[in-house]
Structures are given as C-alpha cells and as structure tokens.
Amino acid sequence: MNDILKQDIVTLVKLQEAETEIVRLQAVLEKVKKEKTKLESRLNQFKNALVQNKEELKKAQTACRDSESEIQIVDDRIIKSNENLRMVKTNKEYQVLLREVDDNKKRKDAFETELLDFMDERERSESIVKESEKEYSLLAEQILAQQAEIEKKCTDDKELLEEYLVRQKDIGKSLNPSLMERFRKISKMNNGLAVTGVDNAVCLGCFMNIPPQLFIEVQRGSSLISCPQCSRILYHVNTD
C-alpha cells in the first residue's frame, strides 16, 4: 500500500510538471492571440476611418452633381425665358419675363458659387481618401507581416502544447479516477499548480509553514497530504 502511494506521488509530480508546462504555454498562446487581436483592431480603426472618408467624398460628389443639375435647370429656364421675350406682345409681359430672367440669373450665380464650394470640398475629400487608402494599404501589409511573424514564432509552442496535453492524458491514466479528479479541482483553484514540494516545512506553493507533524508525514510519503493553507498536494523536496 505504501509503495502504491509513493508511486502515486511520483505520478502526481510528473502530472504536475506537464500541467505547469500546459498552463505556461496556454498563457503564451493567449498573449499571442491578444497581440494579433490588437493588431487587427488597429487595422480596423484605419479601415473604419477610410470608410468614413469615402462616405464624406460620396456626399461631396453627390452635392456637386445636385448643384450642377440645379444650375442646368435654371440655365434652361433662362434660355426658355429669353426665347419667350422675342414673342411677347405687351410691355407688361416683357417686364415679367425680364424679372424672371434676372431672378434665374441670380439663382444661377448662387448655385455656381455653391458649386465652387462643393468642388473644393470634393477635391479635399478626394485627397484625404487617396492618402487614407495609401496609409491603409501600407498598414495592412505591415500588420499582416507582423501577424505572420507572430504565428510563425508560436508554431513550436502550439506543437509543444499538444505534446504536453497528450503526455498529461497518458500520465493520468495510471491514476485512480478520484485522485485525478482531485488533482483537476486543486489545479483549477490554484492556477494550474495542484502538486507542490515542501522544503524545511515550507509549502513551496503558498510559502507558508506547515505543522511539524504534517511535515513528518510528508517526508514519510505514506499518505497524500494537502497543504492546510492552499490545499495543494504536498511531496517532500530533498535538498540535502
């Protein structure tokens, strides 16, 4: 029975070694994921800004077209009124048409002034969009390269993680299911550290002293002892 317990402790220590590496590698890969997400977010910000700039350009282009259309309508009215001037028979009709021509010319002048402003805005927007597209293209190229480099660097870690997950599963097969479940629960409670050594009556998991009698039992290895403070399964570290 004592030999079985000692073997369980040896197995638990090996299991913990695998668990420690798994937690470390998962943390590394999570950090990599966050870095890639951060880069993606930065690219999306530029993309959204580009979309906004294109919307502004679209509005300026529409305003120019609408203004040009209004000018054409007014111009057609002026031409029509001038044609009618040649056919009027009374002075009153003539004066009415003259006022109409004059009003439409004023409206045309106003629309043309407005069009110039719209054209300036369109030109400015075109310049902004052109520059934004250039910046976005350069940034996209840069970020894709960075993401590829990050992915390349973490490939080994991914493969190593898979190896440790398989190793952990294989090691766990030799343990009693209830002991394996105990290990999982403690590991979950303590950020992946379920089994830890005891050196000079100090738990190396929480660095708290354990009672002398408990330390003696840990040294004997005749039973599975948990730390009274952190609940981790303890084993004796022989530093002599």
Choice among 89-93, 190-194, 204-208 with the minimum mean pLDDT: 89-93
Q: Would residue 178 count as lying in a domain? A: no
d(CA 219, CA 112) in angstroms, rounded, equals 96
d(CA 16, CA 234) in angstroms, rounded, equals 11
Q: Would residue 191 count as lying in a domain? A: no
Crossing angle of helices 177-189 and 2-85, in 10° steps, is: 50
Between vectors from CA 9 to CA 8 and to CA 13, what angle results, nearest 5°? 115
Query: Which residue, 229, 236, 140, 124, is CA-closest to 186?
Result: 229
Task: Please give the tally of structural domains in the chain.
Answer: 1
- How many CA atoms lie within 13 Å of 235's alpha carbon, on the beta-carbon side? 16
What's the domain range around 54? 29-173
Burial classification of residue 84, based on how many CB atoms lie within 10 Å of its CB (0-12 exposed, 13-18 middle, 19 or more buried): middle
Q: Would residue 221 count as lying in a domain? A: no
Q: Would residue 155 count as lying in a domain? A: yes
What is the tens place of the pLDDT at every residue in 106-163? 999 999 999 999 999 999 999 999 999 999 999 999 999 998 888 888 898 999 999 9
Q: Would residue 19 count as lying in a domain? A: no
Most confident of the following: 1-10, 89-98, 184-193: 184-193
Q: Would residue 98 count as lying in a domain? A: yes
Q: What is the pTM of this model?
A: 0.67
Q: Would residue 36 count as lying in a domain? A: yes
Instruction: Report the CATH number at residue 102.
Output: 1.10.287.1490
